[in-house]
Amino acid sequence: MAEARDYRAIGTRPVRPDGVDKVTGRANFGADMTLPNMIHGKVLRSPHAHARIKSIDASRALQLPGVYAVISGADFPSGAEGEISGEGGGTVSDLAKNIMARDKALYHGHAVAAVAAKTAFLAESALELIDVDYEVLPPVLDVDTAMADGAPLVDEHQRTGGGQGDAPSNIAAITKFERGDPEAGFAAADVVVEGAYRVPTAHQGYIEPHACTATLDEEGRATVWCCTQGHFDVRSMTAGVLGKSVGEIKVIPSEIGGGFGGKTVIYLEPLAVKLSELTGRPVKMVMSREEVFRATGPTSASHCRVKVGAKRDGTITAATAWLAYEAGAFPGAPVGPGCMSVFAPYDLDNFRIEGFDVLVNKPKAAAYRAPGAPQSLHAMESTIDELARKLGMDPIDLRLANCADEGTHAPYGPTFPPIGIKKCLEAAKAHPNYTTPKAEGTGRGIAAGFWFNIGMQSSAEVRLSEDGTVTVMEGSPDIGGSRASMCLMAAETLGVPYNIVRAHVGDTESTGFCNVTGGSRTTFATGLAVVQACEDIIAECKQRAAMTWDIDADQVDWTDGEAVPKPGVNIDVAPLSLADIAGNAGRTGGPILGRASLNAQGAGASFSVNFADVTVDRETGKVDVLNFTAIQDAGTAIHPAYVEGQMQGGAVQGLGWALNEEYVYDNNGVMENAGFLDYRIPVASDMPMIDTQIIEVPNPSHPYGVRGVGETPIVAPLAVTSNAVSDALGFRISDLPLSPPSVLAAIDAHDEA
Amino acid sequence: MSKVHVVTNVNGEPREMLCEPQQSLLEVLRDELGMTGTKEGCATGDCGACSVMLNGRLVCSCLTLGVEAEGADITTIEGIAEGSQLHPVQRKFLEHAALQCGICTPGFIVATKALLDRNPNPDETTIRYWLAGNLCRCTGYDKIIRAVQDAATELAHEA
Amino acid sequence: MARVVFPEHLLQHTGGTREIEVQASNYRGIVRAVDKQWPGIEQVLIKSAVAIDGQIYQDAWLEPIREDSEIFFMQRIEGG
């Protein structure tokens, strides 16, 4: 199973099935829904980063003609129970309080009330007429302050998980991993390197703001249209917050304009349903860009300390990592996966990892592409780069001397099955962009990346039309071309041309349960369901052919999209194609459909190696990326163009985080750059072409060897940039972003010293 | 506030509408005319998802008032294809996998057509600077730039 | 006997024990045996992922265990 083989459909680059709708403007995204009689909802947000809500008076707003309803925390059931999926988990109760503040506003932009009115403009005007009486409290705005004794408490009821006593604390949880004897390892080292690294809060930066439209009928059944990475999770989370059963809620996913993890959680849907319930009308809610920045999940800012010891020959003898991540206002920073990633590319005998999940008065962190890994691996890969410098070794050789491989006992527990880190390092070393010496005056940086990848639950149904064309129905929102990958895997399995297969994303009532599109699971897990559903079709087709030929089904083979008698079966018949069998289905037992539902296990880890050349303008501090090379193990690339697209897009997101992106807060916890002008994501003129090389070490747990690729690409670029800038300057700047002001300040400080 | 009667021309067709004075052209196109192909990403002119042509000039429709459309010729993403034939720019975006989620794609296609209409043979730097007002968070721009280059080559051959 | 290893976050439930040996033919048997030793830990284990002989399972309920299997409980991973 899953060794490299020749495929007919897999590995080709056809146009995606939903493509034409997306280049003509016909595709419907979250904000494109309109219903008869629809009204509009808007959210009032806290002007304070930390404040007790003493009272909310909506009477003036409700007097405004055209205002239909105002809701606040008191309109929602208290004591919601259960846990939600997502990085670091979390409870429905916290989710509910994040969607609408109860007794305290916990960050600037936290929802405190919502209005439904005839127009969005009117709803916005009504917000100004809601009177909220706040008792302003001191905010806690970074991990170091939050972890210090005597810090103001974000949540007076928070205790530290992991048995750290019973005093309230901003530290929600501590994670530890340890192996061997790190102290002895450091004692045996010839060289020890250590450093502290800060990575700022960044936003996923999807171009489509959150949007939804909801209606509630007279029987209390809700229908929600929204842009999401997982409509089944929207259903369960909305039900949890509203105290409804999932059976009372139908969620219809629109096309989704980017998510990167940020649309695995919900913000608006329960508010829209509640407003619809109160007004008897469909309610549409669309966030502004400013709201997206202030109130939706950014990623965790982090403070990481890493120490690595090695022998003269480069053998690492010990490593330690101390990682503190901002969770935002509720527990659940992705520090667990940060800890599990930090040493993942390496084979280490002695290490200690400690991670801290820390509450601060900022929006609750949401998943962002390989959640937790970019921060911790930025620290580790920067430290490895420093170690290579100290040892006078090529940074690839140093990594090759220590890299994990099949059989390595991963730092987070298990033994690695076949993995691709070594092949990625060897490919980097042989790559023409690496063998070409860097130009005079430039700096080169290299780093490794990693993500576990996940499986989880997926369903798929494959239906044959009477002319043999194929419909695939599944429940994973298509965020980057996954319909094309599903069609390719179905075409490959059935042995039919790609262009007779169409994949569709069904709503919660027209297809079986699927977890979110995230964690690089869709091509792996939903793909597995599609392959199994196609195998179901093949089994049925063989049965129908056997019946037609009056032989046993086990005497029939399925070859190149046709049923044929097995070799040695003595019968003179023409092969039956999928179209022949489908056309005859009515006579042979009725319509043919295949289905599969599964909880996919055995997702394969995806490693990467990236490198780049940069220049640093010493007058302005501006860093220019001259070239960037991304090498990654995809297992098998089903649609190589979309695999490259994930690698290129993730690389540029990582470069943006490294070079410019950060939440800038004032002392009161107010974000000062809540717009695309001041929160500057990369634009076309900032970037070079992103060269890609796909490595294929097939995942033994998938029939076509898929690992999943979407998460890993964002991880390495942070340290690549730090390492390249350090190489160019001749000294290290540990903290991100390497924006012109901070680089210039570092150059000035270095020149003075 | 009383509404303003506006007569305009969208994708070659005369249209009449009532707009509120504060409504942007983007809101009017989407909410009054039901043309939702033009997208809102920021409403502050930073992302380019709402790009349209106004009297032959590329504009952010979120920064243009609906009432400014009076007597104007507007081209939106819905007017780029010719009948049932995709414009070469649209076809090249598909062939190069130059879109992932697709929310920025209408804006990029309108902006690219505007570029190629005035400069049929732009170099990579020109393309990158022309499209610097259109944000894409998925692709890293690589495949978009290649699609634009390929579309330019094809259009040059057609001409 | 299968080798069962507990990560740091489970040590508070095992009184600091990092590793035990368990006789079981499937994952359910492992969980039952561990819960018998430390009553109540099952509720935590079912929220954990587990690696059985290097393969990571978010939900391993159906998995068989070999005589010499290595079982690592670990935190769940999801992703963006």
pLDDT (tens digit, 9 = 90+) per residue, A638-691?
A: 999 999 999 999 999 999 999 999 999 999 999 999 999 999 999 999 999 999
Domain holding A395, by residue range, is 302-453+604-752
Q: What is chain B's alpha carbon radius of gyration, rounded to the nearest angstrom? A: 16
Q: Is the pLDDT of residue A240 over 60?
A: yes
Cα gap B59→B48, rounded to integer Å = 8
CB contact under 8 A, A413 and C72: yes
Nearest to A677 among B46, B94, B105 (CB): B46
Q: How many CB pairs under 8 A join A and C?
A: 112
Q: Is the pLDDT of residue C49 over 70?
A: yes
pLDDT at A321: 98
Neighbours of chain A (3+ CB pairs under 8 A): B, C
Q: What is chain A's alpha carbon radius of gyration, rounded to the nearest angstrom? A: 27
A639: which chain B residues are within 8 Å (Cβ-Cβ)? 97
A454: which chain C residues are within 8 Å (Cβ-Cβ)? 58, 77-79
My answer on whether A705 and A632 are in the same domain is yes
My answer on whether A734 and A609 are in the same domain is yes
CB contact under 8 A, C80 and A176: no
In chain A, what percentage of residues exceed pLDDT 90? 92
Strand partners, A302: A199, A325
Query: Which residue type does A592 have?
Result: I
Q: How many CB atoms lie within 10 A of CB A509?
A: 12
Domains, chain B, with CATH or none: 4-79 (3.10.20.30), 88-158 (1.10.150.120)
Q: Is the pLDDT of residue A126 over 60?
A: yes
Of A216, A228, A298, A225, nearest to A266 by C-alpha is A228
My answer on whether A550 and A582 are in the same domain is yes
pLDDT (tens digit per residue) in A308-355: 999 999 999 999 999 999 999 999 999 999 999 999 999 999 999 999
Pick among B100, B127, B135 to test the A interface (most A CBs inside 10 A): B100
Please give the C-alpha separations between residue A631 and each of A230, A448, A640, A698, A700, in angstroms, as whole numbers: 29, 9, 13, 15, 21
Query: Which residue type does A78 have?
Result: S
My answer on whether A449 and A461 are in the same domain is no
Within-domain flag for A710 = yes
Mark which of A295, A313, A343 sits at the end of a domain.
Answer: A295
> From the CA of C8, how many Å to the nearest CA of chain A?
5
CB B109 within 8 A of CB A19: no
pLDDT (tens digit per residue) in A275-298: 999 999 999 999 999 999 999 989
CATH code of the domain in which A498 resides: 3.30.365.10
Query: Which residue type does A11 have?
Result: G
Pick among B33, B101, B127 to test the A interface (most A CBs inside 10 A): B101
Within-domain flag for A187 = no
Within-domain flag for A370 = yes
Cα gap C20→C22, rounded to integer Å = 6
Q: Is the pLDDT of residue A743 over 90?
A: yes
Q: How many CB atoms lie within 10 A of CB B60?
A: 25
Lowest mean pLDDT among A218-222, A408-412, A507-511: A408-412
CB contact under 8 A, B139 and A676: no
CB A465 within 8 A of CB A458: no
Count structural domains, chain A: 3
Query: Which residue type does A655 have?
Result: L
CB A624 within 8 A of CB B125: no
My answer on whether A533 and A582 are in the same domain is yes
Strand partners, C5: C19, C72
Within-domain flag for A250 = yes
pLDDT at C59: 83
pLDDT band at A415 (very low <50, low <70, confident <90, very high): confident
Pick among C58, C59, C73, C74 to test the A interface (most A CBs inside 10 A): C58
In chain A, what percentage of residues exceed pLDDT 70? 98
pLDDT at A86: 55
> What is the pLDDT averaged over residues A522-526?
95
Q: Is the pLDDT of residue A79 over 90?
A: no
B137: which chain A residues are within 8 Å (Cβ-Cβ)? 204-207, 258, 260, 649, 653, 681
Of A198, A222, A103, A114, nearest to A157 by C-alpha is A103
Within-domain flag for A699 = yes
A453: which chain C residues are within 8 Å (Cβ-Cβ)? 79
Q: What is the mean pLDDT of chain A?
A: 96
My answer on whether A358 and A245 are in the same domain is no
pLDDT (tens digit per residue) in A530-568: 999 999 999 999 999 999 999 999 999 999 999 999 999
CB contact under 8 A, C54 and A416: yes
Query: Which residue type does A511 have?
Result: T
- What's the angle, vertex CA A716, arms to CA A711 and CA A718, rounded to 5? 110
Residue A294: what are its φ and ψ, rounded to 5°? -80, -25
pLDDT (tens digit per residue) in A359-405: 999 999 999 999 999 999 999 999 999 999 999 999 999 999 999 99
pLDDT at A162: 53
Q: Is the pLDDT of residue A494 over 60?
A: yes
C43 in reach of chain A (CB within 8 A): no
My answer on whether A336 and A272 are in the same domain is no
Residue A234: what are its φ and ψ, rounded to 5°? -60, -40
CB B120 within 8 A of CB B159: yes
My answer on whether A245 and A357 are in the same domain is no
A176: which chain C residues are within 8 Å (Cβ-Cβ)? 7-9
Of B49, B113, B56, nearest to A22 by C-alpha is B49
Higher pLDDT, B91 or C11: B91
CB contact under 8 A, C79 and A711: yes
C43: which chain A residues are within 8 Å (Cβ-Cβ)? none
My answer on whether A412 and A464 are in the same domain is no
- What's the angle, vertex CA B137, arms to CA B134 and CA B141, rounded to 5? 65
Mark which of A598, A619, A636 sits at the end of a domain.
Answer: A598
pLDDT at A97: 96
Cα gap A361→A364, rounded to integer Å = 9
Within-domain flag for A268 = yes
C12 in reach of chain A (CB within 8 A): yes
> From the CA of B31, how many Å to the nearest CA of chain A?
9
B135: which chain A residues are within 8 Å (Cβ-Cβ)? 207, 676, 681, 683
pLDDT band at A164 (very low <50, low <70, confident <90, very high): low
Q: Is B39 left (phi over 0), alpha (psi -120 to 50) or beta?
A: beta
Q: Is the pLDDT of residue C55 over 50?
A: yes
Cα gap A16→A481, rounded to integer Å = 6
Q: What is the 3-state secondary structure (H, E, C) of A480-532?
A: CCHHHHHHHHHHHHHCCCHHHEEEEECCCCCCCCCCCCCCCCHHHHHHHHHHH
Q: What is the dihedral of CA A354, A360, A363, A364, to 10 degrees?
A: 40
pLDDT at A1: 42
C74: which chain A residues are within 8 Å (Cβ-Cβ)? 340, 412-414
CB A524 within 8 A of CB A600: yes
pLDDT (tens digit per residue) in A566-618: 999 999 999 999 999 999 999 999 999 999 999 998 888 999 999 999 999 99
pLDDT (tens digit per residue) in B69-127: 999 999 999 999 998 999 999 999 999 999 999 999 999 999 999 999 999 999 999 99
> Is B touching C (3+ C-beta pairs, cut-off 8 A)?
no
My answer on whether A320 and A448 are in the same domain is yes
Query: Which residue type does A313 have?
Result: D
CB contact under 8 A, B40 and A651: no
> What is the pLDDT averaged over residues C39-45?
91
Residue C73: what are its φ and ψ, rounded to 5°? -75, 145
Q: Is the pLDDT of residue A461 over 50?
A: yes
CATH topology of domain C2-74: Ubiquitin-like (UB roll) (3.10.20)
> What is the pLDDT averaged over residues C31-57?
89
> What is the pLDDT averaged over residues A239-243?
96
CATH code of the domain in which A244 resides: 3.90.1170.50
Which residues, 6+ apart, have CB-to-CB distance to A531 below 8 Å? Answer: A489, A490, A493, A596, A703, A704
Cα gap A402→A350, rounded to integer Å = 13
Mark which of A558, A573, A598 sits at the end of a domain.
Answer: A598
CB contact under 8 A, A16 and B97: yes
Q: Is the pLDDT of residue A182 over 90?
A: yes
CB contact under 8 A, A701 and C55: yes
My answer on whether A493 and A572 are in the same domain is yes
CB-based burial, A714-744: b 16+ in 10 Å, e otherwise: bbbbbbbbbbbbbbbbeebbbbbbbbbebbb
CB contact under 8 A, C75 and A417: no
pLDDT band at C10 (very low <50, low <70, confident <90, very high): confident
pLDDT at C8: 79
pLDDT band at C63 (very low <50, low <70, confident <90, very high): confident
> What is the pLDDT averaged over residues A400-413?
93
Neighbours of chain C (3+ CB pairs under 8 A): A
Cα gap A33→A212, rounded to integer Å = 8
Residue C36: what are its φ and ψ, rounded to 5°? -65, -40
My answer on whether A639 and A711 are in the same domain is yes
